[in-house]
Amino acid sequence: MARPTLHTRLCDILDIEYPVILAGMGGVATAELVAAVSEAGGLGIVGAASMPPDEIERQVRRIRDLTSKPFGVDVLLPSGVAAPQGDGAAKADGDAPPQPPQRSPREMLPEQYRRFIDSAEQEFGLPRRAAQEEMSQGIRRGFGGNFSKSQVDAILELKVPVFAAGLGNPGPYADAFHAQGAKVIGLVGNVKNARRIADAGTDVVVAQGTEAGGHTGRIGTLALLPQVIDAVAPTPVAAAGGIGDGRGIAAALAAGADGVWVGTAFLVSREASWPQLLKDRILAATEEDTRVTRLYSGKTMRNINNPLIEYWESQKLDALPMGMQGIISGEIMAAARQADKLELVMNPAGQISGMLHESRPAKEIFEAMVTEAAQILSEGLRARVNASVS
Ligand SMILES: Cc1cc2nc3c(=O)[nH]c(=O)nc-3n(C[C@H](O)[C@H](O)[C@H](O)COP(=O)(O)O)c2cc1C
């Protein structure tokens, strides 16, 4: 079959064949998956959320071994980011971080949250406090200085073609990236943030609806998308949240998007780098099996529901800020891994999970999506819908 054509201005901006971007999913979208999507004609994006600079460098080198096509790296920025200074090195003032904790992470938590960890470990028969030392190192690194600044510095240094921020405003870094010919993408869940990041120089705004897996907002994709498009015009907008096949791509383009940013549909690809059990839970899920919770990160995150989420929600505790909440979930998850109870660990996934039934190579998933979208937009719609304006 001939190679389908599906082209928008986003393809020209990002130098790609098809307007389909692999979402930068932390720890899951790594070199093999990124390269597979870029090779297929889209834009693969590394989910570098918790990767230190040396790991980002390793990923980028591996991608460059696998493909010569454009790709990107995605990080999570803290709120409040200042413009780069001097030689263009990026500086994030929201990074003015707490000093590395002298006490163990668990000791930093208020008493009621320490009690919650104890009670959850008891409830699920987990090894008590077994994970503390393992967690301490991760938490210390997270608190230990300008983590996201060091990530952005590394991405600049590596001359990555596309920089993306899944949280926060990437605008203050835009000049530094533009100076080296790179593009900047930012993700939003509401119109206010869309305006903010577009005004700050972001090249592509991703409007992410609540259907999405991972951190997500409250507005549905179909309601959010046209409002963001109108608010940031002429800045290009990609749609995200609930797009899992060619019908979703066609719908997003019909609604005015310049492209799509797809996460969950690639989570079940062969190249996605996370345990098979987590993929299997997505493959087995229905559209009703996800739940938004603050348990894992302190921010609203859509996950495959599990008994630990139910238990957290039943306790009616307020979530702590991001790093502190991560201590709670991190300790419990480390204990769950130790006890081989992976069903309790974080398993972010979107509502489109109910439509995913098999694990395939990313190239196949990608080609099926693009071909279906091109078919719908070239002939399929006309065959089903009789419309005219005269
Ligand atoms: C497992 C997983 C991890 C994610 N990690 C990140 C992340 O680190 N940074 C980010 O910008 N978005 C992250 N997201 C959100 C995705 O970038 C994307 O917006 C979302 O998956 C799109 O909706 P969909 O899942 O319905 O395709 C994650 C999503 C999932 C499912």
Stretch 123-138: mean pLDDT = 65
More confident residue, 141 or 296: 296
pLDDT digits (tens, 9 = 90+) for 199-222: 999 999 999 999 999 999 999 999
What pLDDT is stored for residue 129 in this prediction? 61
Question: How far does residue 350's CA lie from ligand 1's centre (Å)?
Answer: 8
Q: Longest Cα pair distance anywhere in the chain, in angstroms?
A: 73
Structure tokens at 278: 């987590």
Candidates 215, 216, 352: which one to mutate for ligand 1, based on the most atoms within 8 Å of Cβ?
215
pLDDT digits (tens, 9 = 90+) for 354-373: 999 999 999 999 999 999 99
More confident residue, 145 or 275: 275
238 touches 184 (CB < 8 A)? no
Q: Where are the domains of the chain?
A: 9-96+145-274+355-382, 105-143+277-344
Judged against a pLDDT cut of 90, whether residue 143 lies above it is answered with: no
Stretch 123-152: mean pLDDT = 66
What pLDDT is stored for residue 128 in this prediction? 75
Q: Which fold has domain 9-96+145-274+355-382?
A: TIM Barrel (3.20.20)
CB-ligand 1 contact for 214 (6 Å cutoff) = yes
What pLDDT is stored for residue 100 in this prediction? 52
What pLDDT is stored for residue 146 in this prediction? 84
What pLDDT is stored for residue 261 in this prediction? 98
What pLDDT is stored for residue 194 in this prediction? 98
CB-ligand 1 contact for 259 (6 Å cutoff) = no
Stretch 116-122: mean pLDDT = 95
What pLDDT is stored for residue 102 in this prediction? 58
**Segment among 133-142, 206-215, 301-310, 359-368 with least mean pLDDT:** 133-142
Looking at ligand 1, which atom is closest to the CA of residue 167?
Answer: 11
- What is the distance between the alpha carbons of residues 155 and 50, in angstroms, rounded to a whole number? 14
Helices assigned H by DSSP within the chain: 9-14, 31-40, 53-66, 111-123, 132-143, 147-157, 174-179, 191-199, 221-232, 246-254, 264-267, 276-284, 307-315, 322-338, 362-375, 381-384
Confidence of residue 86 (pLDDT cuts 50, 70, 90): very low
pLDDT digits (tens, 9 = 90+) for 94-113: 344 445 555 677 888 999 99
CB-ligand 1 contact for 187 (6 Å cutoff) = yes
Question: How far does residue 102's CA lie from ligand 1's centre (Å)?
Answer: 33
What pLDDT is stored for residue 106 in this prediction? 81
Looking at ligand 1, which atom is closest to the CA of residue 265?
Answer: 27
User: For the whole model, what pTM was predicted?
Assistant: 0.92
Mean pLDDT of the chain: 90
What pLDDT is stored for residue 140 in this prediction? 46
**Given CA atoms 291, 260, 63, 356 in this order, what sign does their dihedral have?**
positive
Candidates 20, 21, 22, 25: which one to mutate for ligand 1, based on the most atoms within 8 Å of Cβ?
25
